[in-house]
Homo-oligomer: A and B are copies of this chain.
Amino acid sequence: MRVEKASSTKIKNTKQRELILNELRKLMSHPTAEELYKIVVKKNPKIGLCTIYRNLETFYKQGLVGKICTKPVRYDGDMSKHSHIRCTSCGKIGDIFFNVPINPVEIQKLGYKLQGYKIEITGLCSSCIKKQKREE
| Chain A residues in the interface with B (C-beta under 8 A) | 1, 3, 69, 71, 85, 87-91, 94, 96-98, 100, 102, 106-107, 110-126, 129, 135
Contact = CB atoms under 8 A, between A and B. Distances in A.
A96 B107 contact: yes
A94 B121 contact: no
Kindly report how many copies of this chain are found in the complex they form together: 2
Q: Is the interface of A mostly helix, strand, loop or mixed?
A: mixed
A106 B121 CA distance: 12
A89 B88 CA distance: 32
Contacts of A125: 111-112
17 contacts: A1-B87, A1-B91, A3-B135, A69-B69, A69-B71, A85-B107, A87-B112, A94-B110, A97-B110, A98-B106, A98-B110, A107-B121, A114-B121, A115-B123, A116-B121, A118-B119, A119-B119
